[in-house]
């Protein structure tokens, strides 16, 4: 076969194989046998091997995965991938409809057409097509920027490499990559046979598969996708979301078959209620229903907050409960020395993952719930994430159960534990307790503290066990040759870790304060401190009375800070950290005239409709004000939304000025001028 004949045949085979891929994977309506498909694919592979320059960009041979990548490049989304506000009950779903109508100026009796879509528990992606050809695929990331995973997404057979029909000149297809439950079970069975750790749930497996540096591993996982919308688009338009979904179907994208258009919020509630009961019948994981306004014009009019669109909400299914048995109750030790009882349970599958441990918080909580070793208990996931023991089943006790007794000494180092009056927890006072040192080191490296990528519990344990590190500051004296011999630590990994440690030096005073692990000093207290002090040395030199004058820094926090820096080994800590090159200062306050909100104290209560409470509080602080959680004589304004209760009454009693959300936003607009 000469070159021209090969070029023609490659084109024929590529088009025909892509058509059969669409029929098989998207429509589930194959026209040929697997043997016939394989024979065509082998012919194409032979021709492409003979004429590699004739391989087309949409060739199905690309789906097996290309060369491994060293790193994912960051890509900025041309249209942000916003997150959704959540509704946790039918009542909240109805309130979403009421709130939307008020914002749109509609009468409550008027109905809005909605589209209801199952909320797939996977990984959101954006796939960019130019002239119908797949040119880039990215993760959602932080909504503004994601990672380029083009090679990996090309291995997902339900994602078309070339769109069908007459596609727009440019279209970004948004979808959720997921792992079907049967495939998840197959992967875990194979991993178990090889003695490898099992994936916790299909979502984790899907997310890990999509972000593999080697596309061949992604290809072996048999991922799937459901497409639910578009980002940037040129050369096509639609008036409703239903039309948008129909366009995706025509272009060959896989759209969930269970999507329904409804004529009112009551019908949307019924759809959610129906799938709450039926979700177990699906062969993929779903954790709720997304309810979207169908009209694009109404979507535009409704707009979005900084958090997400006002025209959509994610209804979350109620937490799934399961029964299991408490085999033991162990006690863990945290960085602050806190002793925490943890239930060790018979493994049970709950709402997408296998659960075998649940934190019981403190000895009083165990006594209040009367949880005993050997009890049958009901567990669920609090907030769909954290396993929680709801209650024991005393009717199933047989007399062999044992009451839990909190140890009087630290289970790790044997030091006598202390329980300060007024606190619900016992603590190990030994600062050199191995458990406390490990917990502090991993806390220091955590994302919200110094954000040292690659320094997890396994690496931290080895650093401590080998005497390479005693305190977090010792990290900054490590060299590649010191850590290259650690388990699973090659030369590249060692260099990456040293680079991450070096980068953490510039995180700034607020995150440094949080990283130190001072008792009672969380992120909020750290933020308050850097608003009043410009360096760690200034904070270390402050006395308790001075610290207590700072808003939200009460006697307990102030005493803890003073005690921390009074310890002999911390007396010169600011200077030691500075000598290591760590930034111990806060940013300079912005220059210019003070904002109209400077010095004012706000309290937010009730439901806000145009932003979340956290966003409102952050806005106040950006403009020089202060947001607190309680109303007092020092409060300047209370911003009250629907559902405001005791805080609103307290404001009226004290004569504090009360603002609506619109009045607050008008004040903010004036302050920003």
Does 230 lie in the same domain as 116? yes
In a domain, 81, yes or no: no
Q: Structural domain of residue 391, as residue ranges?
A: 322-403
Does 288 lie in the same domain as 238? yes
In a domain, 347, yes or no: yes
Does 272 lie in the same domain as 337? no
Which CATH number fits the domain that encloses residue 109? 3.30.470.30
User: What φ, ψ does residue 305 adopt, rounded to 5°?
Assistant: -95, -175
Number of structural domains the chain divides into: 6
Which CATH number fits the domain that encloses residue 535? 1.10.150.20
Does 333 lie in the same domain as 305? no
Does 146 lie in the same domain as 210? yes
In a domain, 289, yes or no: yes
Q: What is the pLDDT of residues 602-614, one digit of tens each?
A: 888 877 777 777 6
Does 159 lie in the same domain as 285? yes
Domain-ending residue, one of 506, 530, 557: 506
Does 396 lie in the same domain as 493? no
Cβ neighbours of residue 673 closer than 8 Å, sequence gap 6 or more = none
In a domain, 526, yes or no: yes
Does 306 lie in the same domain as 203? yes
Q: Residues 284, 289, 294, 296: what is their CA dihedral angle, to the nearest 10 degrees?
A: -90
Angle at 265 between CA 261 and CA 270, to 5 degrees: 75
In a domain, 513, yes or no: yes
Q: State the average pLDDT over residues 298-307.
A: 84
Given a cut of 50, whether residue 590 has pLDDT beyond it is no
In a domain, 80, yes or no: no
Predicted local distance difference test score (pLDDT) of residue 591: 37
Q: What is the pLDDT of residues 38-63, one digit of tens each?
A: 778 888 888 888 888 888 888 888 76
Predicted local distance difference test score (pLDDT) of residue 382: 55
Task: Give the residue numbers marked as catalytic.
Answer: 119
Does 95 lie in the same domain as 147? yes
Domain-ending residue, one of 506, 532, 560: 506
Cβ neighbours of residue 33 closer than 8 Å, sequence gap 6 or more = none
Does 47 lie in the same domain as 31? yes
Does 531 lie in the same domain as 461? no
Given a cut of 60, whether residue 592 has pLDDT beyond it is no
In a domain, 269, yes or no: yes
Q: What is the pLDDT of residues 185-241, one digit of tens each?
A: 899 888 888 877 777 778 888 888 888 878 888 888 899 999 999 999 999 999 999
pTM of the model: 0.55
Given a cut of 70, whether residue 375 has pLDDT beyond it is yes
Which CATH number fits the domain that encloses residue 24? 1.10.287.610
In a domain, 42, yes or no: yes
Q: What is the pLDDT of residues 532-551, one digit of tens each?
A: 898 999 999 999 999 988 87
Does 243 lie in the same domain as 193? yes
Domain-ending residue, one of 519, 546, 579: 579
């Amino acid at each position: 076969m000469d070159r021209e004949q090969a070029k023609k045949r490659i084109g024929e085979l590529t088009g025909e194989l892509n058509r059969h891929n669409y029929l098989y994977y998207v429509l589930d309506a194959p026209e040929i046998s697997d043997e016939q498909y394989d024979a065509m694919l082998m012919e194409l592979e032979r021709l492409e091997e003979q004429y590699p320059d004739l391989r087309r960009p949409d060739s199905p041979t690309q789906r097996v995965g290309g060369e491994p990548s060293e790193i994912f490049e960051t890509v900025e989304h041309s249209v942000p991938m916003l997150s959704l506000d959540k509704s946790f009950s039918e009542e909240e779903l109805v309130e979403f409809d009421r709130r939307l109508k008020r914002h749109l100026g509609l009468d409550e009796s008027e109905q809005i057409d909605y589209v209801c879509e199952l909320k797939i528990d996977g990984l959101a992606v954006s796939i960019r097509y130019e002239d119908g050809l797949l040119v880039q695929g990215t993760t959602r990331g932080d909504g503004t920027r994601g990672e380029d995973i083009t090679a990996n997404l090309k291995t997902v057979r339900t994602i078309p490499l070339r769109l069908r029909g007459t596609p727009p000149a440019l279209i970004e297809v948004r979808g959720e990559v997921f792992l079907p439950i049967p495939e998840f079970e197959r992967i875990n069975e194979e991993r178990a046979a090889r003695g490898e750790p099992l994936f916790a749930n299909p979502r984790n497996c899907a997310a890990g598969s999509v972000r593999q540096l080697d596309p061949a591993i992604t290809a072996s996982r048999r991922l799937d996708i459901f497409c639910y919308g578009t980002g940037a688009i040129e050369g096509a338009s639609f008036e409703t979301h239903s039309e948008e979904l129909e366009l995706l179907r025509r272009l060959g994208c896989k759209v969930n078959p269970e999507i329904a258009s409804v004529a009112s919020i009551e019908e949307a509630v019924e759809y959610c209620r129906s799938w709450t009961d039926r979700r177990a019948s699906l062969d993929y994981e779903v954790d709720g229903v997304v309810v979207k306004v169908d009209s694009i014009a109404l979507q535009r009019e409704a707009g979005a907050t900084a958090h997400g669109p006002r025209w959509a909400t994610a209804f979350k299914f109620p937490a799934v409960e399961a029964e299991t048995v408490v085999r033991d109750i162990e006690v863990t030790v945290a960085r602050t020395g806190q002793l925490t009882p943890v239930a060790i349970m018979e493994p049970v599958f709950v709402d997408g993952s296998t659960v075998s441990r649940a934190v019981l918080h403190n000895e009083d909580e165990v006594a209040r719930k009367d949880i005993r070793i050997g009890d049958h208990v009901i567990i669920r996931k609090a907030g769909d994430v954290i396993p929680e023991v709801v209650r024991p089943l005393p009717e199933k006790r047989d007399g062999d159960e044992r009451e839990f007794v909190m140890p009087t000494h630290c289970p790790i180092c044997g030091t006598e534990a202390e329980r300060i009056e007024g606190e619900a927890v016992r603590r190990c006072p030994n600062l050199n307790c191995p458990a406390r040192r490990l917990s502090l080191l991993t806390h220091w490296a955590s994302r919200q503290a110094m954000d040292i990528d690659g320094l997890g519990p396994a690496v931290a344990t080895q650093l401590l066990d080998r005497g390479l590190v005693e305190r977090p500051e010792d990290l900054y004296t490590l060299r590649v040759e010191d850590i290259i011999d650690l388990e699973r630590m090659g030369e590249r990994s060692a260099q990456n870790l040293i680079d991450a440690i070096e980068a953490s030096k510039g995180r700034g005073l607020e995150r440094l304060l949080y990283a130190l692990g001072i008792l009672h000093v969380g992120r909020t207290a750290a933020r308050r401190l850097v608003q009043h002090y410009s360096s760690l040395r200034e904070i270390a030199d402050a006395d308790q009375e001075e610290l207590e004058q700072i808003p939200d820094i009460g006697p307990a926090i102030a005493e803890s800070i003073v005690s921390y820096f009074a310890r002999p080994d911390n007396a010169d800590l600011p200077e030691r950290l500075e000598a290591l090159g760590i930034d111990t200062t806060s940013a300079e306050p912005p220059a210019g005239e003070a904002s109209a909100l400077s010095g004012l104290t706000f309290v937010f209560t009730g439901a806000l409709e145009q932003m979340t409470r956290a966003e409102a509080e952050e806005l106040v602080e950006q403009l020089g004000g202060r947001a607190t959680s309680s109303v007092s004589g020092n409060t300047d304004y209370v911003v009250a939304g629907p559902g405001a209760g005791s805080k609103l009454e307290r404001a009226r009693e004290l004569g504090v000025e009360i603002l609506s959300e619109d009045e607050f936003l008008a004040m903010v607009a004036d302050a920003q001028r």
